[in-house]
């Protein structure tokens, strides 16, 4: 389904009229300063005020909110991350809904400000919501939305890219060339690790972990070990069936093993990719002790959440073990890095871009807007895992529901 959806997105420009989307209808109709904050305004005459703390890609999300009768104010602040004081000022005395960012601290202060302003809906522009204190929203009767279902392959692809960039020393080679140090081919120049047929370990075998595992198993015939509190029968059966196909063509058996502990995964894997949630149990899951359990030439990849790794311990480990490599999309004190990390040539570091494809980022905006618009129109909550009907297809066929509300049960919201 996701491959089909991506194909639909690529053809969207030529079929915009058929989808019921008018570029003119979603373009900003005004630029104003609201509560001291520069904003782009969509549908200025809308009766419901929705603020968006960052500009988001795509047009469909704007049309969704405008069609719901919302005046949409999109922050144009030059600040990369808005602090709480600025967001409170932006909310002001009257605000019906907010689309916020994972870089913001949505706890008692912001939800109290939103409640006092008459707010009824909030959506995080992310699938994760560790930046949101959901009970604080629930206590004030505010539904909290998120954006699952459109990040799976996109994030898994970035994790795979980090894996090979680290294993094959791509960034080191790129810097070497740009510095004009290359004088000719050498047998020992930037020798890295071959991953074909080796062992890949997954910590967290949810949707993204499963997609990454399939990429590594299918593309590179890697044996799979994984740790997850829950057995992933689909993934295990998939690998076993794929192994039978490979063996029928003369290839070697590909194995899959669910490990009882994280430690078991770390000890046997040539690559370890983290795909777990961040909570009190997973903060610094990968610490000095765990790093020392890994193979000296292993590759560690994190496209989940930065604090899952003790970054100070990681820097020390990278310095002591030059053959050990890491690929990071997220950081413990994001946007900052711990001292010494940027000097480690055996680290590939990118600025939290795992979801950064046009289809995914636009889809996230659409889902966030759909959450807010649906709540403000008293629509029920979507009760199905497939959310592509919100993201693709004719505009008039978008389900009349909120795609994902994480506290729907606690608030006794009606389900579709």
DSSP string, 12-76: GGGGTTTTT--HHHHS--EEEEETTEEEEEESTT-SEEEEESS--S-SHHHHHHHHTTEEEEEE-
Does the model's pTM come out above 0.85? Answer: yes
Instruction: Work out the average pLDDT over 195-202.
Output: 98
Structure-block tokens of residue 352: 């939290």
The per-residue pLDDT for 76 is: 96
Residue 20, pLDDT > 70, answer no
- pLDDT tens-digit series, residues 24-41: 455 446 789 999 999 999
CA angle 276-278-282, nearest 5°? 80
The per-residue pLDDT for 31 is: 87
- pLDDT tens-digit series, residues 89-111: 999 999 999 999 999 999 999 99
- pLDDT tens-digit series, residues 277-288: 999 999 999 999
Q: Which of 6, 120, 352, 410 is catalytic?
A: 352
Instruction: Work out the average pLDDT over 209-220.
Output: 98
- Greater confidence (7 vs 283) lies with 283
Q: Which of 168, 305, 317, 361 is catalytic?
A: 305
Instruction: Work out the average pLDDT over 211-218.
Output: 98
Question: Across the chain, which distance is largest between two alpha carbons, in Å?
Answer: 69
Instruction: Work out the average pLDDT over 314-320.
Output: 98
DSSP string, 70-106: EEEEEE--S-SS--HHHHHHHHTT--SEEEE-TTS-B
C-alpha torsion 156→160→162→167, nearest 10 = 160
Instruction: Work out the average pLDDT over 186-195.
Output: 97
CB 39 within 8 A of CB 76: yes
> Is residue 305 annotated as a catalytic residue, yes or no?
yes
CA 246 to the chain's CA centroid:
32
Phi, psi of 100 (to 5 degrees): -110, 180
- pLDDT tens-digit series, residues 222-259: 999 999 999 999 999 999 999 999 999 999 999 999 99
The helix or strand, by DSSP H or E, that contains position 163, with its residue range, turns out to be helix 152-167
- Please state, as a whole number, how many other Cβ atoms lie within 10 Å of the Cβ of residue 128: 16
Q: Which of 112, 172, 334, 345 is catalytic?
A: 334
Can you name the residues that pair with 223 across neighbouring β-strands? 199
Query: How distant, in Å, are the alpha carbons of 59, 93, 387, 396 from that of 26?
Result: 6, 26, 22, 15
> Is residue 16 annotated as a catalytic residue, yes or no?
no
Phi, psi of 41 (to 5 degrees): -110, 130
Helix, strand, or coil here: 317? Answer: helix
Residue 7, pLDDT > 50, answer no
> Is residue 334 annotated as a catalytic residue, yes or no?
yes
Residue 18, pLDDT > 90, answer no
Q: What is the rounded average pLDDT for all residues in the chain?
A: 93
CB 206 within 8 A of CB 273: no
Instruction: Work out the average pLDDT over 293-303.
Output: 98
CB 355 within 8 A of CB 361: yes
Residue 372, pLDDT > 70, answer yes
Residue 4, pLDDT > 90, answer no
Task: State the residue for tokens 């522009």.
Answer: 125
CA angle 313-256-3, nearest 5°? 90
The per-residue pLDDT for 26 is: 54
Residue 85, pLDDT > 70, answer yes
The per-residue pLDDT for 8 is: 37
Query: How distant, in Å, are the alpha carbons of 121, 365, 399 from that of 58?
Result: 21, 8, 19
- Greater confidence (20 vs 177) lies with 177
């Amino acid at each position: 389904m996701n491959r089909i959806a991506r194909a639909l997105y690529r053809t969207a420009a030529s079929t915009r009229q058929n989808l019921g989307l008018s570029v003119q209808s979603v373009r900003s109709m005004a630029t104003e300063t609201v509560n001291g904050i520069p904003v782009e305004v969509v549908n200025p005459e809308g009766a419901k005020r929705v603020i968006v703390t960052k500009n988001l890609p795509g047009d469909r999300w704007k049309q969704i909110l405008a069609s719901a009768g919302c005046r949409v104010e999109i922050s144009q602040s030059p600040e990369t991350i808005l602090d709480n004081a600025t967001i409170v000022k932006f909310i002001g005395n009257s605000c019906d809904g907010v689309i916020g960012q994972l870089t913001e601290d949505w706890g008692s202060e912001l939800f109290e400000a939103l409640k006092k302003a008459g707010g009824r809906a909030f959506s995080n522009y992310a699938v994760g919501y560790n930046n949101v204190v959901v009970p604080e929203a629930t206590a004030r009767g505010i539904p909290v939305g998120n954006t699952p279902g459109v990040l799976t392959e996109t994030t898994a692809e970035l994790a795979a890219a980090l894996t090979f960039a680290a294993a094959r020393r791509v960034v080191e080679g790129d810097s070497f060339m740009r510095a004009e140090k290359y004088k000719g081919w050498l047998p020992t120049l930037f020798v890295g690790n071959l991953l074909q047929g080796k062992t890949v370990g997954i910590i967290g075998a949810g949707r993204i972990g499963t997609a990454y595992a399939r990429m590594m198993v299918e593309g590179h015939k890697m044996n799979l070990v994984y740790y997850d509190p829950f057995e992933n029968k689909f993934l295990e059966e998939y690998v076993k069936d794929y192994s039978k196909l490979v063996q029928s063509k003369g290839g070697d058996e590909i194995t899959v093993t669910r490990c009882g502990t994280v430690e078991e995964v770390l000890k046997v894997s040539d690559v370890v990719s983290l795909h777990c949630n961040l909570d009190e149990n997973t903060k610094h899951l990968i610490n000095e002790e765990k790093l020392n359990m890994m193979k000296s030439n292993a590759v560690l990849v994190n496209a989940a959440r930065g604090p899952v790794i003790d970054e100070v311990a990681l820097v020390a480990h990278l310095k002591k073990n030059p053959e050990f490599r890491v690929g990071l999309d997220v950081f413990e004190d994001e946007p900052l890095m711990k001292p010494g990390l940027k000097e480690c040539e055996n680290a590939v570091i990118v600025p939290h871009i795992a979801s950064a494809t046009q289809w995914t980022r636009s889809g996230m905006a659409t889902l966030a807007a759909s959450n807010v618009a649906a709540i403000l129109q008293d629509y029920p909550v979507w009760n199905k895992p497939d959310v592509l009907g919100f993201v693709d297809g004719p505009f008039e066929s978008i389900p009349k529901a909120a795609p994902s509300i994480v506290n729907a049960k606690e608030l006794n919201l009606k389900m579709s």
